[in-house]
Amino acid sequence: MTPRELDGMQLDTLLEAARLQNLQPSPALLARVMQDACEMQPQPALTPVPRPSMRGGVLMQILALFSGFGAAGAGLATAGLAGIWLGFAQPAPLATPVEAVSAVLQGAGDDAIDGEDADMVELIPSFDGWLAEG
């Protein structure tokens, strides 16, 4: 007598029972697989350093190009401006030593030197006099 085949429902029940049976991997297998995974894993990318923002328009961007020379540039600019200033600015007229001395002598002469004026010699001509006389 030929054995009777399983009907569809019986076979499905059996397959369902098998489906629910999970084969658990051994710790040794998990360790092997984990080791492979770690060895093959790419290294994380380095975090990029954020670049300073270029806000402030084109002028700031151009100035930023020379940012390394900022300190030296400031010094050069100051020296240049000072030179221009010294070249063009007229110095305030100063009393010459002769005038100062003579003023003192005149004030004192009224008391100390009777009737005689001291001779005045301009040892250092003034800038104005030099311009006028050449």
Interaction site with another protein (CB under 8 A): 2-8, 10-12, 14-19, 21-26, 29-30, 32-34, 36-38, 40-45
CB of 58 to another protein, least distance (A): 36
**Beta carbon nearer to another protein, 7 or 111:** 7
**Beta carbon nearer to another protein, 38 or 59:** 38
CB of 2 to another protein, least distance (A): 8
**Beta carbon nearer to another protein, 49 or 121:** 49
Three-class SS string for the chain? Answer: CCCCCCCHHHHHHHHHHHHHCCCCCCHHHHHHHHHHHHHHCCCCCCCCCCCCCCCCHHHHHHHHHCHHHHHHHHHHHHHHHHHHHHHHCCCCCCCCHHHHHHHHHHHHHHHHCCCCCCCCCCCCCCHHHHHHHC
